[in-house]
Structure 1
Amino acid sequence: MTTDTHIHNTIRDSTSAVILAGGQARRMGGVDKGLQLLAGRPLIAHTLARLAPQVGPIVISANRCLPEYMAYGHPVLPDALPGFIGPLAGLHAALCATGTPYLACLPCDSPYFPMDLIARLFSALTDQDAEVAVIRQGERVHPVFSLYRRSVLPQLTAYLERGERRFMTWLQEIDSVYVDLPVDTTEFANFNTLDELQRASSIST
């Protein structure tokens, strides 16, 4: 077994992932974003295809259209906390439901992320013995592209119980390390409107 294969297997054996699809998608008119089509396939399908080779178990954080998401063969986790309070609720539910030492977090609306994304995050997290590794492009931090140790769960629970909701503020409360990538890459571009999806679909067909 080569070193790269060993590392890949280690990451897959120790890392679960949550795809965040539980938002209200206000800028898309309130439709369920993860089920909207890009080049004839739902965004959640694109995300799963890129993510599945990189990790072990995958869960989907969703609060609507649960049967449609369940059809993809992965557990679907509604927020335990009411009121669509944001992505931290989905992260919290996934940390509670998964048992691996590490949990990767990704959004459902950015289907072009790198095929070695989790490996990059894992390397930074373990090399620097941090609690979370996060993607950063220049001054822009992408908190929903991140990898956590399960040990952050009590801290996140306490943070949410205080009524806090901001992802960036949460990252400042734990031991974070950043994976810096070029500003000009479009690998972390996301879709916020149906027009953006339609334009992208027309280019790729």
Structure 2
Amino acid sequence: MTSADYPATLGVILAGGLARRMGGGDKPMRTVAGRPILDHVIERIAPQCEGLVLNANGDPARFAAWGLPVIADTVEDHPGPLAGILAALDWAAEHRPDVEWVASAPGDCPFLPRDLVARLHEARIAADVPLAVATSGDQAHPVVGLWQVGLRQDLRQALVEEGLRRVDRWTARHGVAAVSWPVDPVDPFFNANTVEDLAEAERLAASLPG
């Protein structure tokens, strides 16, 4: 399946983390192979989507160089990645009514697969469910997923009225397909959370062709 074979899908890059284990700041702006991680994320996911938005809180001007719409959480107190996903669903409903699907990925994953959106769509179609998430090895990556815009009010209720925070608890309510990627030669969902992770990302980047 190629991008021409699946429905128009908006991409959202989740960049709301505070990078506490790196001393603060925006993790997507840390560099790997001489470029901000955000550059790597955009390069890999943009060709798979009908537009990109960046979910981040605080002053959006710090991301101006990338020229993407920057959307803040629409739920108070920044309750985690589900709030960023909801913000993207809300943005799609308002600004891209032609789009029924949103694909999400963290802003600190420089090796995202180039077939991410296609395989997520394939899986949710095969399983006849409205959601799909990525796995690699024996690890689930619940914030790397495909989300149906029509579920946004249900998600808002779960976040605001129920105080739900765990992604997998909400996805389980609606039906979710899991898609597995190999971890060789590199786990495509490797994320740079610490200074040591950045060093490992540099090593991995140097080992990959191109």
| Aligned equivalents of 1:118, 1:204: Cα separation in 2 | 22
Unaligned runs of 5+ in 1: none
* Aligned residue in 1 for 2:78: 84
Q: Which amino acid aligns with 2:47?
A: P
SS of equivalent residue, structure 1 residue 71 = helix
**Where do 4+ consecutive residues of structure 1 move more than 6 Å?**
none
Which residue identity lines up with residue 142 of structure 1 in the other structure? H
Structure 2 match to 1:168: 168
Cα separation, partners in 2 of 1:24 and 1:152, compared to 1, 3 Å: same
Which digits, 9 at most, give the CA deviation of each residue in 1:102-133, with x for residues without a partner?
Answer: 10010011111111111100111122221101
Q: CA deviation at 1:203?
A: 6.3
Q: Classify 1:203/1:125 alpha carbon distance in 2 versus 1 (closer, same or farther; 3 Å).
A: closer
Is 1:35 aligned with 2:29? yes
Aligned-partner Cα distance in 1 for 2:181–2:44? 19
SS of corresponding position for 1:8? coil
- Once residues 203 and 115 of structure 1 are traced to their aligned partners in structure 2, the CA distance between those partners, rounded to angstroms, is 17
Q: 1:64 to 1:197 in 2, by over 3 A?
A: farther
Which residue number in structure 2 is paired with residue 192 of structure 1?
193
Q: Cα offset for 1:10?
A: 4.1
Amino acid at match of 1:145: V
**How far apart are the structure 2 equivalents of 1:54 and 1:147?**
12
Post-superposition CA distance 1:57-100 (Å, at most 9, x none): 11000113521223211100011223231111110000000131
Q: Take 2:124 and 2:204, find their aligned partners in 1: how far apart are those partners? A: 36
| Match of residue 102 from structure 2 | 103
Instruction: Report deviation, 1:196.
Output: 2.2
> Which residue type is aligned with residue 141 of structure 1?
A
Amino acid at match of 2:191: N
Query: Which SS does the other structure have where 1:113 is aligned?
Result: coil
User: How far apart are the structure 2 equivalents of 1:101 and 1:140?
Assistant: 28
Aligned residue for 2:3, secondary structure, equals: helix
SS of residue matched to 1:89: helix
In 1, Cα distance between equivalents of 2:205 and 2:50 = 29
Q: Which runs of 5+ in 2 are unaligned?
A: none
Give the superposed CA RMSD: 1.9
Contact 1:23 1:84 (8 Å CA) reproduced: no
